[in-house]
Amino acid sequence: MIRFRSLLALLLSLCSLCALADPAFYRVNKGNQQHWLLGSIHAGTPSLYPMPHQVERAWLQSRALVLEVNINELEPAQLQGVQPLTQLPAGDSLQQHLPAPLYQRTLQAGAQYGVSEAQLAPLRPWFAALTLTQAALAGTGFDSQLGVDQHFAQLAAKTGKPVVGFETLLEQLGYLASVGEHQNLMLTTTLDELPTMATNIATVMQAWQQGDEATLITLLKEEMAPAPLQQWMERTLLAERNRNWLKKWPSLPNESFIVVGALHLYGEEGLLAQLEQQGWRITSVTAPDSREGAHNAER
């Protein structure tokens, strides 16, 4: 199970304050196919770069970049499809979908983090939750433009390296919107977590930077979030998306540099375990002996 703070970590995936450690980084190979796999964080600080030398070396050797979504090529049709997923129909408003106490809490949080009632009014409850989370993130000192995925996407654009997306922007938003009937619960839990965001994500940040697989797996098993959100995240945001990505794995360009959210790597439904079951050899490239429960360097 997963605490909701880990959902925020998955969606925003902040970086660690521990700049000297190495994040978990893997080489995966099968037959004559070889790729590198890095768990992503989607916001950071300048001190995050350059990445550890093993990561930088693999990047130079790679022939393509694979991301959850190819953020370098967002087609107009995708952008046009965002509004129906994230916003309510014309004439509808957030207030009509929330109990009065929850709506007032939402407005209070908006006022605290610089999001006006006019900005919140057209949003679906799940997207209002993410909007408030993003606004709160802005006050933590981290920058989404310095996230690992953005970093390598920018490098790919500069060097002309091909970029492949596991899913489209609309597909990714569709997964998030699938919280459906539980989106008021998602908003409520978000409001509960926002005041302690910096504290709550500290463990996730440090675990990522240190490549601490055991701690990340523990986060996946914590039973501190409402059950419907736990189930939705585990089944849809993680397991279902992992299965869909694995279907596309055989068609990836050889020697791809793959960057996905760190929590997609671990657990029984994680990419590492599923790839191993499919006959891929997993080699931990960065300091495997420093992580309790990590994959062995040769497996």
Q: What are the tens digits of pLDDT across the range 58-110?
A: 999 999 999 999 988 877 777 788 999 999 999 999 999 999 999 999 999 99
How far, in Å, CA of 91 to CA of 89, rounded?
A: 6
pLDDT for res 200: 64
Name residues whose C-beta falls within 8 Å of residue 225's C-beta, 6 or more positions apart in sequence. 1, 2, 3, 4, 7, 189, 233
pLDDT for res 206: 72
pLDDT for res 117: 98
pLDDT for res 288: 47
CB 36 within 8 Å of CB 137: no
pTM of the predicted model as reported, rounded to 2 decimal places: 0.86
pLDDT for res 20: 33
- Axis-axis angle for helices 197-209, 125-137 (nearest 10): 80
pLDDT for res 293: 40
Alpha helices in the chain (DSSP H): 4-12, 53-61, 76-80, 82-86, 100-113, 117-120, 125-137, 148-159, 169-177, 183-193, 197-209, 213-221, 227-232, 241-248, 271-277
Name residues whose C-beta falls within 8 Å of residue 178's C-beta, 6 or more positions apart in sequence. 232, 236
Per-residue pLDDT of the chain (299 residues; tens, 9 = 90+): 334 443 444 444 333 223 334 678 999 999 999 999 998 877 677 877 888 899 999 999 999 999 999 988 877 777 788 999 999 999 999 999 999 999 999 999 999 999 999 999 999 999 999 999 889 887 777 777 778 899 999 999 999 999 999 999 999 999 999 999 999 999 999 999 888 776 666 666 677 777 777 776 676 555 456 888 888 988 999 999 999 999 999 999 999 999 998 889 988 999 999 999 999 999 999 854 433 344 443 34
pLDDT for res 224: 53
CB 109 within 8 Å of CB 119: no
CB 37 within 8 Å of CB 258: yes
Lookup result for tokens 């440090």: 206
DSSP state, 68? S
pLDDT for res 297: 37
Q: What percent of the chain has pLDDT over 70?
A: 82
pLDDT for res 134: 87
